[in-house]
Amino acid sequence: MAISEEPEGRASPVDVASASLVDVAEFIDEQPVGGFQLRLLLTCAAVLFLDGFDTQAIGYVAPAIAKEWGLTKGALGPVFSAGLFGLMIGALLFGPLADRIGRKKIIVFSTIAFGIGTLITAFVHGVDMLLTMRFLTGLGLGGAMPNAVAMTSEFNPRRRRATMVMIMFCGFSVGAALGGFLAAALIPKFGWRSVFIVGGAAPLLLAPILMLRLPESVRFLVLTGRAHRRVAELLASISPKTLFASATQFVVREPELTGIPVVHLFKSGRTLVTLLLWVVFFMSLLDLYFLSNWLPTVLNDLGASVSEAAVIGSMLQVGGIVGTFALGSIIDRFSFRALALVYFIAVFAVGAIGQLGHSAVLVTVAIFAAGFCIVGGQIAANALAAGFYPTAVRATGVGWALGIGRVGSIVGPLVGGALLSMKWSAADVFITAAVAALCAALAAFSLSRLVAAGGGGQEGRADQVSPFHDTLHPVTTART
């Protein structure tokens, strides 16, 4: 390999004649997680922080909007689903587009788009306009998430990949949880519109930083043969003591995938795993958005004030944050087996919410446990999906899994609104939600059996699946 390292930490010149191939994935896998990856993680986490804040804001302000506009509690169900429908379309469109033009461009564009949409939402009057703006905002929100996941996955070693993706994704949960606390503080003093003003301004302030500081995926650059010198610079940022020869060739050991990206989700033995992943995402996100959108309203109906309901409801995301940190290394080691167990526990946690609704302390514990399992499980599923697909369709694979999951996230709030409109008890409503968690658990268990049998690769990791290693794609760097 055409690199050298001096023991004192300063790279020495390398003879051009000794230049050879550098496998980018192997090089990254051999390095410890360092400052470059941590800075990238924090940058992507900042995007998802604002994504989570703006996605969940509507749920926290819904009781205040319903009161001001004289709406029934089920009337905002279509508004919830309109935003999630936008998220679905954004994920389905911008995942494949990012595999064509790059992760960075889509992340920056999406951040600007959902910032503008959220800011405009602060000035709407009427359900129809609110519904339209939530859909348009959702387009941007849906584009940011799969690309942040793909970007983080592609810059981290395989042994720590799930952990790093899950920690990064905590940004979404922190943003969603903070939305509850901020709504509780802002609504009594400034009204519900102030939540959207804050949620819209912040992404627009972040966008210039992303333009300057966010790198393009190094695997994407190698696979597409772009910016050869930049590949060497990025790998040197990961390993500062390493210097590459000017004639070094960088490769990724993955086949060239041409044509429609989505088609490749069903080739080379990926069909059954893709379909099962979609079931996990559909059921998990159905449950997550069922809970996140209707918990504040149900708690308000049970006697909590709007501010109290927002704070107690935010425990769903707080539990998710704790679950993400607790589950990261376990998911890296046990993959879908651990995911199945997490969702099985979620069945009991979600069902308990409806039984304990009249005790603030007990329902808070149940919501925290549900968040630990549902939010933590969903973030783990994101990481596992990113690890399963090759670079050429990684954003497509994650984006379509999230997009299919968004169908569930649309159905969830609609089901919740319908059940509440039919005067179902809180106990029956949350037992229904627990059934979705059971379906996710069964799909994850099936995935664990499939990958254990070799049908989806060892533990479902793309780097260990033989169909992804058919050819080499060398890219020669410019002289450095």
Dig out the tokens for 410 from the structure. Answer: 């649309």
Decide: 83 and 135 in contact? Cβ < 8 Å: yes
Tens-digit pLDDT profile for residues 233-284 = 888 888 888 887 777 788 777 666 666 777 778 877 788 889 999 999 999 9
Q: Between residues 285 and 177, which one has the greater pLDDT? A: 285
The residues that bridge with 249 in the sheet, in sequence order, are: 21, 476
- Classify burial at 84, counting beta carbons within 10 Å of its beta carbon; exposed 0-12, middle 13-18, buried 19 or more: buried
pLDDT value, residue 74? 67
Taking the C-alpha atoms of residue 153 and residue 339, their distance in angstroms, rounded to an integer, is 18
Q: Between residues 334 and 165, which one has the greater pLDDT? A: 165
306-313 vs 35-69: helix axis angle to the nearest 10?
150
Q: What is the mean pLDDT of the chain?
A: 81
Alpha carbon distances (Å) from 23 to 1, 35, 100: 9, 21, 22
pLDDT value, residue 357? 64
Instruction: Give percent of the chain above pLDDT 70.
Output: 88
Tens-digit pLDDT profile for residues 378-387 = 988 888 888 7
DSSP result, 331-376: HHHHTHHHHHHHHHHHHHHHHHHHHSTT-HHHHHHHHHHHHHHHHH
Find, among 116, 112, 122, the residue nearest to 144 by Cα. 112
Is 23 in a helix, a strand, or coil?
Answer: strand
pLDDT band for position 12 (50/70/90)? very low
Alpha carbon distances (Å) from 158 to 127, 155, 376: 46, 9, 20
Edge-first strand listing for the sheet containing 475-476: 21-23, 249-251, 475-476
Look at residue 429 and tell me whether its pLDDT is greater than 80: yes
Alpha carbon distances (Å) from 329 to 16, 37, 252, 334: 41, 17, 26, 9
pLDDT value, residue 454? 65
Average pLDDT of span 325-347: 87
Tens-digit pLDDT profile for residues 16-58 = 334 478 888 888 888 888 889 999 999 999 999 999 888 888 8
Please list, in sequence order, all residues whose beta carbon lies within 8 angstroms of the beta carbon of residue 205, skipping any fewer than 6 positions away. none
Taking the C-alpha atoms of residue 164 and residue 325, their distance in angstroms, rounded to an integer, is 10
pLDDT value, residue 227? 64
pLDDT value, residue 457? 41
Tens-digit pLDDT profile for residues 97-141 = 888 888 899 999 999 999 999 999 999 888 889 999 999 999 998
Q: Beta-carbon neighbour count of residue 101 at 10 Å?
A: 13
Please list, in sequence order, all residues whose beta carbon lies within 8 angstroms of the beta carbon of residue 338, skipping any fewer than 6 positions away. 327, 330, 331, 380
Dig out the tokens for 459 from the structure. Answer: 């533990």
Taking the C-alpha atoms of residue 444 and residue 281, their distance in angstroms, rounded to an integer, is 10
Domains recognised in the chain with CATH numbers: 26-220+254-469 (1.20.1250.20)
Q: pTM for this one?
A: 0.75
Residue type, 453: A
Taking the C-alpha atoms of residue 119 and residue 205, their distance in angstroms, rounded to an integer, is 12
